[in-house]
Amino acid sequence: MGMIKFPGYSRRVSGWILFFVLVPVFLNPVTWNLKKKICPLCHRDSQYYVLGSYGGYVHYRDSRFELVEFPHDEELALYTCIHCGYSVFMEDFSTKLKRKIQKKLRTVLADFRFPRKVENYARIPISERLELAEYCYAAGVSCDCAPFWIWFYPIKAYHVAKADKAEEARNIRIKTLGLVESALLRPKNQGIQKELVMDAGILKYLTGDKEGALMLLNDALSMTYNHRELSMENNDKYNRYLAEFIGEYLQKISKKSQ
Ligand SMILES: [Zn+2]
């Protein structure tokens, strides 16, 4: 299945819509196949893992409680060129890079050297690849805007936390919360407030403020989602999906306090 590319928030919406439209709910395990791909920056080839099969259940994984959705909860979904260090998520990898961005990336990655020879990117720790990806995205591969980073940093925090770096993950989430709070102040984000307030609630919960999380999640539940780039029907569906998810989150938090 080809992934549709949307910036920041819309990626989450698009993933959700694709899930219902294109992904049959069957129980195929997640499988990955190796495929040769050419790096859009240095034009050298290497082996990358591409998705073979998976089932609809991947959208119900616990990673969503940390604001991370399939396939970004999979380490293999973050590609790194073993020759030049160019690192982005799989759906961004084949995107042609503008000359100006290539120049910036070459500067950013100029000192990049892997300490050892690796057969493919999967051998490089995910924390190293995420650092590189952060540099690459900031150099202009994606829009250097709040919605993108609000989407990216929870993925980073998720993998960092899995690598037993709880304090580092907490700091990333606190930084993300700051971005969400700033985004909430912008009038243009009025329509997506429900999702932003939900994000803020989840980030509060993940950084240890349960009371603050409960307050924000209940606030989010009372709001209506209305993304200006979506049809009324899809806004309606997404609004219901968010309400269900927030309800589930509230239940999860209450269970933990018992
Ligand atoms: Zn390369």
Structure tokens at 50: 């591409």
Mean pLDDT of 208-227: 96
Among 85-94, 173-182, 232-241, 249-258, which is the least confidently predicted range? 249-258
CA atoms of 68 and 103, how far apart (whole Å) = 31
Find all residues with CB under 8 Å of 207, minimum gap 6, and list them.
170, 173, 174, 177
pLDDT of 127-140, one tens digit each?
Answer: 999 999 999 999 98
Separation of 80 CA from ligand 1 center, angstroms?
A: 8
Separation of 45 CA from ligand 1 center, angstroms?
A: 8
pLDDT of 111-132, one tens digit each?
Answer: 887 767 888 999 999 999 999 9
- Which range has the top average pLDDT, 10-24, 165-179, 223-237? 165-179
Separation of 109 CA from ligand 1 center, angstroms?
A: 10
| Local structure of residue 58 (DSSP, 8 states) | G
pLDDT for residue 35? 97
CA angle 171, 174, 220 (to 5 degrees): 150
Separation of 65 CA from ligand 1 center, angstroms?
A: 33
Separation of 103 CA from ligand 1 center, angstroms?
A: 13
Q: Rounded to whole angstroms, what are the CA distances from 115 to 96, 111, 130, 146?
A: 28, 12, 17, 33
| Residue 215, domain member (yes or no) | no
Separation of 202 CA from ligand 1 center, angstroms?
A: 36
pLDDT for residue 25? 53
pLDDT at position 2 over 50:
no
pLDDT at position 20 over 70:
no
**Residue 249 — pLDDT band, cuts 50, 70, 90?**
very high
| Residue 94, domain member (yes or no) | yes
pLDDT of 142-186, one tens digit each?
Answer: 877 888 999 999 999 999 999 989 999 999 999 999 999 999 999
| Residue 109, domain member (yes or no) | yes
| Residue 222, domain member (yes or no) | no
| Residue 99, domain member (yes or no) | yes
- Is 45 strand, coil or helix? strand
Q: Which helix (DSSP H) or strand (DSSP E) does residue 104 occupy?
A: helix 99-108
Find the domain containing 90 and state its range.
1-142
Separation of 106 CA from ligand 1 center, angstroms?
A: 10
| Residue 117, domain member (yes or no) | yes
Separation of 232 CA from ligand 1 center, angstroms?
A: 42
Q: Is 98 exposed, middle or buried (0-12, 13-18, 19+ CB in 10 A)?
A: exposed
Separation of 166 CA from ligand 1 center, angstroms?
A: 31
Number of domain units in the chain: 1
Structure tokens at 8: 């920041």
pLDDT for residue 3? 36
Mean pLDDT of the chain, nearest integer: 88
Cβ–Cβ < 8 Å for 25, 57: yes
